Amino acid sequence: MNTRRKFLASATAAVSGSAFGSSLFARQASSNGDESPKKTTVTAWVNATLLPVDKPPISGGAIVVQDGKIQAIGASANVAIPAGATIVDAKGKWIMPGLICTHSHIGGAGAADGSGPIQPGVRVMDSINVRDSGFRRALAGGLTTLNIMPGSGHLISGQTVYCKLRYYEASPRIVDEILIRDKNGAPVGGLKMANGTNSQGDSPFPGTRGKSAYLVREQYIKAREYQAKVVAANGDVSKLPPRDLHLESLVEAMQGKRIVHHHTHRHDDIMTVIRLSQEFGFQTVLHHVSEGWKVAKEIADAKMPCSIIVLDSPGGKVEAKDMTFSNGRVLDEAGVKVAFHTDDWITDSRLFMRSAALAVRAGMNRDKAIAGLTLAGAEMLGLSDRIGSLTVGKDADFAILTGDPLSVYTHVLETWVEGQKAFDLSKPDDQLYAEGGVNAGSDIDPFLCCFAPAWQGGAK
């Protein structure tokens, strides 16, 4: 939170020179400019069915949230509720951690362009439209964290970014407001790679699988040599190689600072990803993994987690023809860490829980499937110390549901992000995003602090 405030303060400073900057950013200044919390709010939900994910479900449970963090959780009788706390009776409702999508394209994000197949220095962060209604629809599905990725049309399509859906009463206006930052204030994200048919094409794109792997190896070897020069320079500027954003990004991947999120479908393509990951030592999450079930043991042996997609039918392209609802079960039973993803807009974030439910339909362990929507995803983004379970000290990101998340009849009532309500089904605006209708697909209206558009009466 502190880093976010610092950032927002600097953002305010950065634009204050513009004619309207001060009024536009007044909201941020008032809510975030003060370093001391404006008011300590404590809220406790009691009598709920809680799914902490890192522990067994708790019926008749209480969860206490203070300053955006989870302060206590347990059976209602065992949780001391601080004096002055707002108490919400959640009888009949279920509360689970905010859902984490390890693979989303909301925000119309793009990174690499058509000029070549390997562009690791390009950041998706520089192209996200925060007003995309998809963010509000994702909240309606109980999602709180997204890994926003560039597409799969390149071998390396750029840097991904991890985002929190901080869509409170006033929606974010710039991408910086939704970024997740490390303790130094830098945005965190991964690196998107792909193999198989999507990333093949006419020259300079590879035409075969062999060429695809070769091109990737060639670049990582270059990056290794680049890094060796940097190390050899030992801080001597005259000896440093010219900065290369692409190679820097690959170095970060090899140093474990940037997790590789690798699109892959066919069993042999999966094995290629494992081979390259081992050669260059980058930490990899396998994404989609349609044929993961055919090489589940090999994936488990390589200790490589899988973020899988669940689609209503196989096919649509040759390499996805053997996709099956059973993938999650087979991988989990082989000992592979499994998370789900929406690939939004491939599947609709509002129905993300359905992906886990269909995996359970095909025999996947229920608890593992729910973890696949939450904690497993957090681990795959390297964020499990902050999110993914209802655990004391973690961010207060959670969804309040009418019932079991694996039932078609269950609805998300509220979604909370860092202790603030970001979705409320009882509000007509939010209901629109949950159910669809006119304007549900339009960009979110900008929040205008101190004046309304002319057709609504102008300045206030």
Q: In the set 8, 53, 122, 311, which binds other proteins (CB under 8 A)?
A: 311
- Pick from 355, 268, 267, 345: nearest CA to 307: 355
Are 333 and 317 in contact, with CB atoms under 8 Å apart?
Answer: no
- Which residues within the stretch 323-352 sit at the binding site for other proteins (CB under 8 A)? 345-346, 348, 351
Determine which residue in the list 56, 409, 426, 428 makes contact with other proteins, applying CB under 8 A: 409
Per-residue mark of binding to other proteins, 127-156 (x: CB under 8 A): ----------x-------------------
Task: Give whichever of 31 and 442 is closer to other proteins, judged by the CB atom.
Answer: 442
How many residues of this chain interact with other proteins, rule: CB under 8 A? 34
- What is the C-alpha separation between 198 and 109, in angstroms, rounded? 17
Whether the Cβ atoms of residue 398 and residue 405 lie closer than 8 Å to each other: no
Output 91 or 317, the one with its CB closest to other proteins.
317
Residue of the chain from 40, 234, 238, 313 that contacts other proteins (CB under 8 A) = 313
Q: Which of 323, 216, 305 is nearest to 266 (CA)?
A: 323
Q: Rounded to the nearest whole angstrom, what is the least distance from the CB of residue 409 to other proteins in the complex?
A: 5
From 439, 342, 112, select the one nearest 249 (Cα to Cα): 112
Q: How far is the CB of 458 from other proteins (least distance, A)?
A: 29
Parallel, antiparallel or unpaired: strands 58-66 and 99-104:
unpaired
Distance (Å, whole) CA 135 – CA 155:
27
Is 163 near other proteins (CB under 8 A)? no
Q: Residue 436 CB, nearest distance to other proteins (Å)?
A: 4
Residues of span 413-452 touching other proteins by CB under 8 A = 435-442
Structure tokens at 387: 């999110």
Among 95, 118, 383, 406, binds other proteins (CB under 8 A): 406
Contact present, 415 and 422 (Cβ < 8 Å): yes
Query: Could you check whether the bond before residue 204 is cis, i.e. omega within 30 degrees of 0?
Result: yes
Strand, helix or coil at 312? coil
Binding segment for other proteins (CB under 8 A), chosen from 51-59, 358-366, 420-428, 447-455, is 358-366
Given 99, 357, 380, 400, the residue binding other proteins (CB under 8 A): 357
Q: Which is nearer to other proteins, 71 or 349 (CB)?
A: 349
Q: Which 79-138 positions form the footprint of other proteins (CB under 8 A)?
A: 137
Q: Give the amino acid at 128.
A: I
In the complex, least distance from residue 48 CB atom to other proteins, rounded to whole angstroms? 21
> Would you say 292 and 336 are in contact if contact means Cβ atoms under 8 Å apart?
yes
Whole-angstrom distance, CA of residue 52 vs CA of residue 195: 36
CA distance 281 to 259: 11
- Smallest separation (angstroms) from other proteins to the CB of 113: 22
Q: Which residues bind other proteins (CB under 8 A)?
A: 137, 311-318, 320-321, 345-346, 348, 351, 354, 357-358, 360-361, 406-411, 435-442
